[in-house]
Amino acid sequence: MSGLAREDYLADIYRLQCENPHDPVSTGSVADRRGVTAASATAMFKRLARDHLIVYRNYGGVSLTPEGQDLALGVLRRHRLVERFLADVLHIPWQQVDTYADQMEHALPDEVVDRMEVLLENPYTCPHGYPIPDKHGHFAQPDLILLRDLSVGEQVRVARVNERVPGLLRYVEDLGLMPGSLLRVSARNPVDLNVTIETEGRAHILGLRVSEAIWVERLESRG
């Protein structure tokens, strides 16, 4: 009936577009993300383009049409609301909810999603800090900075942790750096790009792989 794989492709194209807003999304990047061959991605692109969900030029990558973006945002909405539900209501560890939500997101009727949203009291973000689109596709776009790009002395709040970096969620949890945590940058090493932070009185040295997977929000931005 409803496209199963289609939805994942659309959502992944949207995610890749966000990560690199300037150029179009390449066949290879989608294939990598989806874990399929480039040939499979090409075949899917043709079907999606035929149905006016993406614009596809041979050898030129893809971009979402307004209609395709609506569908993609619907998938992200379901994905992130389900993640919230799994974490907050069923108490499933946040390391696992992305995988489960990826399975469930395609099988949730709108009414179920909308009622979950009410039950959860209209959350703004998923447990990892990514915004949840409302039923019209609108969502908050706060000013976030990568932890990597902070200067020494800055005091910030963790806003978002990339859920697809292997092992990162567990590591972040151990360090007490979940979304909402406060931290201060106490040092930066200009050679290896390590960042030293303090949180709850403890200091940690974070490598680049970590500091470029965590987004933060400046405190007291009035001034």
Partner DNA sequence: CAAGCGTTTTAGACACGCTTAAAACTCTTT
Partner DNA sequence: AAAGAGTTTTAAGCGTGTCTAAAACGCTTG
Q: Which residues bind a second copy (CB under 8 A)?
A: 4, 86, 89-92, 96, 99-100, 103-104, 106-109, 111-112, 115-116, 119
Give the shortest CB-223-to-a second copy separation in angstroms.
44
CA distance 115 to 113: 5
Distances in Å between the Cα of 32 and the Cα atoms of 49, 70, 189 are 20, 23, 32
Residues that bind DNA (CB under 7 A): 3-6, 26-28, 31, 34-47, 56, 58-61
Token couple for 64: 């979402």
Comparing every residue's Cβ against Mn ion, the nearest one is 126
CB contact at 8 A, 194 and 207: yes
Binding to Mn ion (CB under 5 A): which residues in 117-156?
Answer: 126, 128, 130
CA neighbor of 61 nearest in space, from 11, 3, 34, 22: 22
**The pair of three-digit structure tokens given for residue 172, joined into one six-digit string:** 């972040």
Tokens of 203: 């200091």
167 vs 175: CA distance, rounded Å: 13
Interface with Mn ion: number of residues (CB under 5 A) = 8
What tokens appear for 90 in the block? 């069923």
**Contact partner at residue 128 from DNA, Mn ion, a second copy, none, CB < 5 to 8 Å by partner kind:** Mn ion
x/- track of binding to Mn ion for residues 62-101 (CB under 5 A): ---------------------x------------------
Q: Which does 155 bind (CB under 5 to 8 A by kind): a second copy, DNA, Mn ion, none?
A: none
- Which spans of this chain sit near Mn ion (rule: CB under 5 A)? 8, 83, 102, 105, 126, 128, 130, 163
